[in-house]
Amino acid sequence: MKVISYNINGIRAAIKKGLINWLKEIDVDVICFQEIKANIDQFDDSLFIELGYHCYWYSAEKKGYSGVAILCKKKPIKVTYGIKDSLIDSEARVLNIEYDNLSIFSVYFPSGSSGPIRQQFKMFFLNKFMNFIRNQTKTTVISGDFNICHKSIDIHDPVRNKNSSGFLQVERKWVTNFLKSGFVDSFREKNKLPNNYSWWSYRARSRERNKGWRIDYHMISHILLNKIKEAEILSDIKHSDHCPIYLELSL
């Protein structure tokens, strides 16, 4: 199974930047999008259907904001929108598809960078999501934008950013506890090297200078650890301020 996760920072903008042609080239089994920033009536989803995907779109109540999607070649037996929390689900942050023995999530974790109110909401989401995921019984792949760098190796300047949302000690500890609960950071199982990032600010030529943050992950159930064939960051792909991340599992 080949899986892509990609915060596209607006599906309409990404389509204009050549997203469809790129998807034709890579031909993966599952695509998890975050931050689609559109309702289904605002773009042509037949572009994705024509590529052979079953498409599940989950849009936020606020127009042009947040939203996630999952596109899959094999039709799932169940699709679940949200986590049954009205505050979180109004922002359309969690989407799940299920097969007989596998559950796949596309998740867009909140950012707290705009101030204390959103940081408080981020912590609320983290606690809710941890409790929600503990109740999952199937082997699980959680793909998405976590908006957290786990370790110093995952951020270009850990010293200056130690008090920045996305690298706060309390957030990093949450990721540690999340992994201890039975998950594996698939990329770090395959690549222990620094300077591997998945998001760059639009400011100060950050991407050109590779001053980035690794905040996008494929987190997988520990039982899948020996099934990882490849886990890569596709940093050369540029439809967004994020880049896609790739996971291939031998299932």
**CB contact at 8 A, 197 and 210:** yes
What's the pLDDT at 190? 97
Number of domains the chain is built from: 1
pLDDT for res 69: 98
- Single pTM value for the model: 0.98
* Chain center to CA of 33: 7
Domain, as residue range, for 78: 2-249
- If one counts every other C-beta atom within 10 angstroms of the C-beta of residue 25, the result is 6
pLDDT at 161: 97
**What is the secondary structure of 70-130 as a DSSP string?**
EEESSPPSEEEES-S-HHHHTT--EEEEE-SS-EEEEEEPPP-TT-HHHHHHHHHHHHHHH
What CATH number is associated with residue 124?
3.60.10.10
Verify whether residue 145 is a known catalytic residue.
yes
* Residue with tokens 């019984």, as numbered in its chain: 137
- CB atoms closer than 10 angstroms to residue 120: 12
Q: How high is the pLDDT of residue 75?
A: 98
Please give the pLDDT value at position 139. 97
Please pick, among 85, 89, 145, 185, the residue that the annotation labels catalytic: 145
> What is the predicted pLDDT for the residue at 240?
98
User: In the structure, how many helices (H) and strands (E) does the chain have?
Assistant: 7, 14
Residue ranges for the chain with pLDDT beneath 50: none
